Amino acid sequence: MLNELYRPPLALLTDLYQLTMAYGYWKLGRDNQQAVFHLFFRKPPFNGGYAIAAGLAQAIEYMRGYRFDDSDIEYLASLTGNDDQALFDDGFLDYLSKMKLQVDVDAMPEGTLAFGSQPMLRIRGPILQCQLLETPLLNIVNFQTLIATKASRIAASAAGEPILEFGLRRSQGIDGSLSASRAAHIGGCAATSNVLAGKMYGIPVKGTHAHSWVMSFDTEAESFANYADAMPNNCVFLVDTYDTIQGVREAVKAGIQLRNRGHEMVGIRLDSGDLAYLSIEARRILDEGGFENAAIVASNDLDEHIIESLKIQGAKITVWGVGTKLATAFDQPALGGVYKLGALQDDQGNWQPKVKLSEQLIKTSIPGTLQVRRFEKNGQMIGDMIYDEDMGVNPSLEIVDTKDPTRRKRFPSEATASDLLVPVMRDGVPTGPPEEISTIRERAINQLTRLHPTSRRLLNPHEYPVGLDVDLNRVRNEMIDAARKTS
Ligand SMILES: Nc1ncnc2c1ncn2[C@@H]1O[C@H](COP(=O)(O)OP(=O)(O)OP(=O)(O)O)[C@@H](O)[C@H]1O
Ligand SMILES: O=P(O)(O)OC[C@H]1O[C@H](OP(=O)(O)OP(=O)(O)O)[C@H](O)[C@@H]1O
Ligand SMILES: O=C(O)c1cccnc1
């Protein structure tokens, strides 16, 4: 199923300007000029200290099947410019119809902790092809990275208690929901209510019942009894349709009947009112009724901040149902990931680094063919270095902050170091099968334990050190000076 959704023809899933540039490169005979682009964000979302890389499997799936089919070519042939003449000529359309993707992609495996300014993906290949890929790669990776990060924050606030992702009904369209469910699981959610996402991506699915079930019977007691008859092995009773405390008492009665028939009630769900107070009361009633192990699920517009607050209030919630605020990344609906040219090969086959200037240093691009090296000591991540693979790493192991060049840090030589971008595609062919989602999820959880808690905290986290290798920093400064002089 994963293959079907991202299966071609999806080559038109790009901005028109990518095709106008592609046309220009083709006309100039520059279509095969080799280029390197990097995909990165500048600042972790939600004012947090980190992001969790996600979406690579779908990005690879998208590229793996990349082609323009006959109907795509027909559509492109129908586009006209302001003189009503065709936008693209037949030779170019023929070229597109025969084009095979020849890019090399190096990327952070999904579930890797990512920080500002560092490439999560590096795409090298014919400039025309790299350019066409910009928009779909950003579309796929930006959203999943955003949601995986949100889920990770929510999971952190629940401190190990399971989160059920309930976002489907309020998420942004069909793939908005499916990829949100996938990314939410990577970020730490235990299960989803989205059955198609469960089937497609191998995510556990879970569900309770709605208020409509209770309302469809004359009494709440009758609704619980009938639900227990129908679903004895999955009984979570929604107790807040009329009076929550009375609802919990009815759940206990239904639970006793169920137990007499050899089944155990899973728990209850609260969906309104003061969740701290009601969960404490519900716990007492359930315990007194002999249901010490019954779960108390809570839902109702939850996010990491409300969950944190409920925990401080001593809420007795054991399972958290989170929908809207998670699947729509409510407080920051987009990750500002960008895709920038790093280097171009000249006629002699030499790589020429490229830079884009900006008033703000953080927005000035980083030239070169970049790699990210992560340093760790005593099992803790101590900082990341962005370096140019062609220049290598300066033996000083010193980094310079990308925003403030006066801030520098030197890594100890005994620190362990690993490069984060690994080959995932060569000449348009994936280097291996997609990873299991459980492997990705475990990677995210494991890496978080290696990030210092001060960088993990939800509010005003300590900024994890990321900087440029000193040689790369010097070359970048020289290029900035030279570009300013000529502009
Ligand atoms: N003890 C609590 N502390 C902090 N926030 C809470 C607490 N209990 C519930 N909330 C949150 O308060 C928000 C709004 O709750 P509100 O009381 O408006 O809705 P409600 O009780 O569900 O009402 P309705 O019956 O209209 O759905 C929700 O996001 C909910 O998760
Ligand atoms: O609040 P969220 O985090 O988005 O979680 C999903 C919400 O969706 C359902 O409500 P809805 O009113 O749609 O249906 P219901 O009648 O089953 O409660 C559910 O009861 C949750 O409150
Ligand atoms: O199973 C549930 O309780 C559920 C599913 C979707 C949305 N809200 C709740």
241 lines ligand 1 (CB under 6 A): no
Residue 269's alpha-carbon distances to 156, 158, 246, 318, in angstroms, are 21, 16, 13, 10
Question: Mean pLDDT in the chain?
Answer: 96
- What is the chain's length? 487
Residue with tokens 């089919």: 69
Q: What is the mean pLDDT of residues 54-58?
A: 97
For residue 426 the two structure tokens come to 């060569």
215 lines ligand 2 (CB under 6 A): no
Q: Probe ligand 2: pick from 213, 271, 306, 307, max atoms within 8 Å of CB? A: 271
DSSP one-letter code for 7: -
pLDDT grade, residue 465 (50/70/90)?
very high
Question: Among residues of the chain, what percentage have pLDDT more than 70?
Answer: 99
Instruction: Please report the DSSP string for 241-293 in residue order.
Output: SS-HHHHHHHHHHHHHHHHHTT----EEEE-SS-HHHHHHHHHHHHHHTT-TT
| pLDDT recorded at residue 8 | 64
DSSP one-letter code for 357: -
Inter-residue contact 155 to 187 (CB < 8 Å): yes
H or E element: which one contains 426?
strand 422-426
CA–centroid distance, residue 219 to ligand 2 (Å): 21
| pLDDT recorded at residue 5 | 75
| pLDDT recorded at residue 485 | 84
CA–centroid distance, residue 271 to ligand 1 (Å): 8
Map out the domains of the chain with their CATH numbers: 1-24+67-100 (no CATH), 32-64+105-146+344-486 (3.20.140.10), 148-327 (3.20.20.70)
pLDDT grade, residue 276 (50/70/90)?
very high
| pLDDT recorded at residue 2 | 56
CA–centroid distance, residue 462 to ligand 3 (Å): 36
How far is Cα 103 from Cα 122, in angstroms, rounded to an integer?
10
CA–centroid distance, residue 224 to ligand 2 (Å): 19
Strand-strand pairing, 295-298 and 236-238: unpaired
52 conformational bin, left if phi > 0, alpha if psi -120 to 50, beta if neither: beta
303 lines ligand 2 (CB under 6 A): no
300 lines ligand 2 (CB under 6 A): yes
Handedness of CA 205, 179, 120, 381 (dihedral sign): negative
Q: Could you read off the pLDDT of 305-352 as tens digits, one per residue?
A: 999 999 999 999 999 999 999 999 999 999 999 999 999 999 999 999
Residue at 433: amino acid letter: P
CA–centroid distance, residue 214 to ligand 2 (Å): 14
For residue 188 the two structure tokens come to 């730490």
| pLDDT recorded at residue 458 | 96
pLDDT grade, residue 486 (50/70/90)?
confident
Q: Could you read off the pLDDT of 193-220 as tens digits, one per residue?
A: 999 999 999 999 999 999 999 999 999 9
pLDDT grade, residue 19 (50/70/90)?
very high
- Give the range among 2-11, 252-261, 284-293 with minimum mean pLDDT: 2-11
**What phi and psi values does residue 106 have, to the nearest 5 degrees?**
-120, 135
Q: What is the mean pLDDT of residues 75-103?
A: 97
Residue at 15: amino acid letter: D
pLDDT at 1 > cutoff 60 = no
Q: Could you read off the pLDDT of 379-418 as tens digits, one per residue?
A: 999 999 999 999 999 999 999 998 888 999 999 999 999 9
Question: DSSP alpha helices (H): ranges in 313-434?
Answer: 324-327
Closest residue to atom 8 of ligand 3, CA basis: 166
CA–centroid distance, residue 323 to ligand 3 (Å): 8
| Helices 275-288 & 304-312 angle (0-180, nearest 10) | 60
273 lines ligand 1 (CB under 6 A): yes
Strand-strand pairing, 191-192 and 163-165: parallel
CA of 297, nearest ligand number = 3
317 lines ligand 1 (CB under 6 A): no
pLDDT grade, residue 3 (50/70/90)?
low
Q: Other CB atoms closer than 10 Å to residue 417's CB: what's the count? A: 14
CA of 170, nearest ligand number = 2
pTM exceeds 0.95: yes
DSSP one-letter code for 47: G
321 lines ligand 3 (CB under 6 A): yes
Q: Other CB atoms closer than 10 Å to residue 318's CB: what's the count? A: 17
pLDDT grade, residue 357 (50/70/90)?
confident
For residue 230 the two structure tokens come to 């129908």
How far is Cα 22 from Cα 50, in angstroms, rounded to an integer?
35
Residue with tokens 């019954």: 294
How far is Cα 293 from Cα 290, in angstroms, rounded to an integer?
9
309 lines ligand 1 (CB under 6 A): yes
| pLDDT recorded at residue 463 | 96
CA–centroid distance, residue 48 to ligand 3 (Å): 28
Inter-residue contact 370 to 414 (CB < 8 Å): no
Nearest CA to 97 out of 77, 126, 125 is that of 77
- Give the range among 128-142, 346-360, 452-466 with minimum mean pLDDT: 346-360
Question: Among residues of the chain, what percentage have pLDDT more than 90?
Answer: 93
Q: What is the ipTM of this complex?
A: 0.97
Residue at 307: amino acid letter: I
How far is Cα 120 from Cα 124, in angstroms, rounded to an integer?
13
| pLDDT recorded at residue 4 | 67
CA of 207, nearest ligand number = 3
Give the ligand 1 atom nearest the CA of 272. 22
CA of 237, nearest ligand number = 3
Q: Could you read off the pLDDT of 31-53 as tens digits, one per residue?
A: 999 999 999 999 999 999 999 99
Give the ligand 1 atom nearest the CA of 275. 8
| pLDDT recorded at residue 319 | 98
Dihedral angle computed from the Cα positions of residues 312, 313, 316 and 322, in that order, rounded to the nearest 10 degrees: -70
pLDDT at 192 > cutoff 70 = yes
208 lines ligand 3 (CB under 6 A): yes
Nearest CA to 64 out of 37, 95, 96, 103 is that of 103
